[in-house]
Structure 1
């Protein structure tokens, strides 16, 4: 989806259309959760501290997030996806991978399928969507960013290597600004530069992520589309466009995830005893911290307190954080049979 949260707000409030808009808190400790395209033209990005966003765009309008509304719209969109294929892997409320090799509508190509899905999303929700079409996940994700907003791009078989070669490495999914800067210092600026480096070099300097970088420089990705399945937990996580590098922004991210988890628990009636916080660093190393209580978490304040206590064990930060997640699990037997994982 195109600037999903912000677009929903502009759809529902005509006075916001055409204005630079940020979803999030405007207080000194607030963080931008999403920015409209008007705001992005001023350099405002998600995960940016609100004070920084206001410096870049003094006319920026802030609105609080409405996760229940975003989830409802997301459900409409996913229902459309499932009209075309059962192989839907949600990445977030506004993004998913679809395998339409054998689509249920019998459309002749993935390009036609994407075009029809986008038209139905616009008709149903009043929101525009962009699509990337290719023969693996990495290339499809890369293509999806090429013609935003309200467009689509296809990378056909045999064209992946050439497509990747000309792009700056900072455009690749999984390579954040800090990693791109490090690559640039080694003379790795484009996909072609990355392809010229041996696997051993990339692993020596980028750890486990080196194998991934070696593969995507060649347009290779063997991951399959994995449909979402219900779990005995309620969780929310988000990957940020810009790495979180201060305790304040990390805590703000945890607060947003905990709020979303609890909103789902309130709706589903589920109550869990185990709180887990997940953090993925810029170098792809991941850590989790968990705490299991004797009794279920009974209110949002408790969930937030435990989540913050867990994430604070990571301070001082060893590196920037690109993903934050909060999960509530270990549901009692008489509670809801597992609220699904939610991604933001």
Structure 2
């Protein structure tokens, strides 16, 4: 088992009981929906063991506390809170994108409908702030404010993402700003919240926040690549899923800005009406590759990881835990799902 796998598994062991305890507070139907979404049960409530996801965000929170205070447990409320906010965003994101599958299972809206997905997501968001408000850390209010600001930024990014679907003039800078909100903000607070809860000095909190923000940009770049070229057997999403939706992802936007003739052909392809065939989707993916969008996204992801590693160095953390955080960062650009 790799260091990264050990780190993520350790996080799951710590977080899972507290996460289940939080979900138990929900009304019976919403509890069933959340249990299904987290992979704890089927749609009838029968216990199962489905893919729980990467649990990257709570792992960052726990590692940050351990790096500063020598133990992860004080960050557990923060770790649960960021995981709840993340899953609130997934429930709403699946609905807005009309994605019918996540982790090889039907999404919540595809099973129970749009309204249930909205309400279940809202319930998880409320739980996140409830769990954090109950923490007896003297720094709980500061952590709660940081999470609230990050959630607002996440929503801002999602608003931009939806708006970009109706525009044909989205710039790369706009797309990077959108990704910084939609993905970077929650990873930034995930990396910082554990340090906040153990009373770390502000320069350490700021360095960890920068680490998470750069990690978030790398994560989004890789996610966008997987949304075009990822294997459905691994990602749990249909092939060329982002191209089917004609999403203005980072490699697409870079190709439109810098791709020359292939970029102009891609713009014309994106402007077409109707549902694209498999052959047309392969053609669009080839245009992005010919434009250099795929290579740029890979390079940019690596550069962002380099910046994240530099932020870790600036934080002056315990060497062993700092290396674990670095391993998590490298996992982000090596992942296949």
The TM-score, its normalising length taken from structure 2, stands at: 0.26
**Greater strand percent: which structure?**
1
**Greater helix percent: which structure?**
2
The TM-score, its normalising length taken from structure 1, stands at: 0.26
- Bigger relative CO (Cα 8 Å, ≥ 6 apart): 2
